[in-house]
Amino acid sequence: MRQSRFGLHFIFAQTRPAAKCRLAQTLGPNIKLLIALLSSFAIANTAVVEKEIPIIVAVIPGADACPSLGEITGLKFTRLNVRAGPGIAFTKVDAVKNGQRVYLCNLSKDGEWHGVVYPKNHGNQDCGVTTEKSKSEVYSGPCEAGWVHSSWVKVIAG
C-alpha cells in the first residue's frame, strides 16, 4: 500500500506488474460517469439569455401609437413575468398582477407574446401611447415596457 500526496491509498496488484491499481479500476468508470453528469448539469443550467427586443410604438395612420388596450387576466399565481423580449429565454424585467391594464403595442411573429406598455404600480399614469405618432420609435416614455405571454392578456379595447 502506498500513500499519494493527496492522502489517497493506492493498492497495487503484487502478482501482475502490468495491472492497474485497484482504486483506479474501481473509480475509473465512476469518475467518468461523474464527470459526464457534472458536465451535462453545467450545460443544462447555463441560461441562454437573449438580447432585449424593445417595444416599438408605431405609426399607424389614424390610430394610437399602441392601438389596443388589454388586461392581465386568468392568472392562477400571484404575478405574470414581464420579459425583455418575446420568450422565456429573455430576462425577467418586471411582473404584473391580475387586473393590470396594459397597452398592446407589438405582437411577436408567432402571436404568442404581446409587447406592452403599462403604468407603474397599477397607476393611471399617462404613458404617452394613446395618440398618433409621427414616426416609429422605441418606447422611452414614463411607464414600464416589456413582453408578456398572450395567454394571460384579454383585449378590452382596440
- Listed by start position, the domains of the chain span 2-44, 56-157
- Write out the chain's pLDDT in tens, 158 residues: 444 444 444 444 444 444 444 544 555 556 555 455 444 444 444 455 568 899 988 877 778 889 999 999 999 988 999 999 999 999 999 999 999 999 999 999 999 999 999 998 767 788 989 888 888 899 999 999 999 999 999 999 87
The model carries a pTM of: 0.67
CA of 91: how far to CAs of 16, 94, 119, 129, in Å? 59, 9, 20, 24
> Would you state the pLDDT for residue 116?
97
User: Looking at domain 56-157, which of 3.30.200.20, 3.40.50.300, 2.30.30.40, 3.30.70.890 is its CATH number?
Assistant: 2.30.30.40
- Closest C-alpha among 152, 151, 147, 154 to residue 87: 147
